[in-house]
Amino acid sequence: MAFCIAVIGKDNAPLYLTTSDMEQELDLQYHVNAALDVVEEKCLIGKGSPESKELYLGLLYSTENHKIYGFVTNTRVKFIVVIDSSNVALRENEVRAIFRNLHLLYTDAICNPFYIPGESLTSKKFDRAVQKLMSGTA
């Protein structure tokens, strides 16, 4: 369902990144990296009213093959999901659901006392859950 799911730390270094297609990984990473531009811009605009801050950023940008959605937590950790453009069936609500689940998974993962904040996520459980989320069987 999704091509790529990425968790990016507040200093814009990736904490976790997985793709469904290993061959495209580099290209997708470039895309995800570039999407941060839009995330930053959107966060900048949203700065004015922190109360009503919507974590879900919506569609960041789309290319011919991909649609890239963004989500930012209160701690400025960004989630990026890359989805196939041709998949018209996927609705925005479903994307939101993916992010919501991802957020839960992320909070669970960093609740681990052995996790060092700011380091990359290596939890196997998290990885498994994200893979499921990506394939749409979550």
Partner 1 sequence: MTMDATALPSELLVTPQPLVGFCGLDTARVSVHKAVWEAFSGSLQRKAADRAAVQYKLLPPNYEFPVAKPKRASYEWYHPKGILKRNWMLKHLHVLPSVVVLFQDMEWNDLQWTEKQVQCAAIVQALKNALQERNTRLCLVLLQRAAPLPPGEDLLAAERAASLTNACGITSKMLFILPHTEHLTGYALRLESAFLDMAQSYYALMSKRIRNHRDQLTAAHTSLKIRHQFKLGFVAEMRQDFSTGQKHYFQAYANLDEIRINDGNCLEIKTLAGFLNYKICRLMFKLKTPRDAINQFIIHVDKYKSRVGFKDLAFEHHAWLSTQHSVFAELFCEAIKNGLPALQTQHPGIYYHKAAEFVMKRRDAALEAYAAMQASSEATPTPIQNPLSLYTEFFGIRAVKTGDLVAEQQANMQLCDQERSYNHSAGIIALLSQAMAQFKIYKCLRFRKKLAIDMAEEYFKSGDHAKALTLYSLMLPDYRQEKWATIFTDVLLKTLRCALLSGSVADYIACSVEALSLRHQSEQSERILILENLWQVFQGVPPMPKTQLTPEAQTLWTSALPNVKSPIQIDLDKVNDVVEMCATFERVQLNNDDLLQLQLIVRVLTDVPLRIRSFHVILADAGNPQNSYKLEALKYFCFPTLTQLRGQKQPDDEQLENQPQEPKNFEKNMRLEPGSYYQLFCSTEAQQFHENTQLRIVRLEAHMGTDQVAALLTCSSNYSRHLFRHHTRSRDLDDNVTINPICYIAPTFHLDTQTNLGHGHDNGLTDGKEVVATKMLVNEYFPVVTTVSNPYNVYLQNVGVHISIPVGLRNSVFLTTDISPGRQKLHSQIQIDVGELSAHGSNTATFYIFSLTEAEIKLAQRLSYTLDVDRGPGGGSSNARVSTAPNSSESTPDHEVKSVIPSVAAISPVQIEYLDETRLRKSREDTLTVRCYGDFKFTARFYTMDRKPLNQVYRGENFLLRANTEVVAVDDVEILDSFFICDHNLVQSNYSFKQKKYTNKYSAGEQLESVIVLRTNATLRDWTTARDLDHRGKLEGKTVASKFIRPVPKPSSEEPLAPTPPAGISAYMSKSLVTKIPTTMTIINSNSAVSNALQVANAGVMSNSMQSDDVNVAEEAINTQEGIKTTRLIYNKALEAVQGTGHCRGFIKGIYTLEGNPSAVPIFGVFCIRWRRANCKEENESKFVIRGLDIAEPPLNIYCTIEEKMFVKMPMAFKVVLKNPTTHVLHLIANLSISKTDNFICSGHKQLDISIMAYEEKELVYNLYPLQVGWQELPVLSLEYNTKADPQKKDSQNALLDELVQRALPKRVFVLPPLKQQNK
CA distances from 114 to 24, 47, 69, 98, 122 (A): 32, 32, 30, 26, 11
With CB under 8 A, what is the number of residues at the site for partner 1? 22
Q: Of 10, 20, 24, 25, which lies in the binding site for partner 1, with binding defined by CB under 8 A?
A: 25
Q: Smallest distance from the beta carbon of 132 to partner 1, in angstroms?
A: 23
Please, what is the angle between helix 124-135 and helix 92-110, to 10°? 170
The residue ranges of DSSP E strands in 34-126, in sequence order, are 56-62, 66-72, 78-84
For partner 1, the binding residue among 36, 82, 110, 121 (CB under 8 A) is 36
Shortest Cβ 30–partner 1 spacing (Å)? 5
Take residue 46 and report the two structure tokens written for it.
Answer: 């949203």
Q: Which of 10, 43, 56, 61 binds partner 1 (CB under 8 A)?
A: 61
Work out which of 24, 38, 55, 90 binds partner 1, going by CB under 8 A: 38
The CA distance from 6 to 78, in Å, is 8
Write out the residues near partner 1 by the rule CB under 8 A: 11-14, 17, 25-26, 29-30, 33-34, 36-38, 40-41, 60-61, 64, 116-117, 119
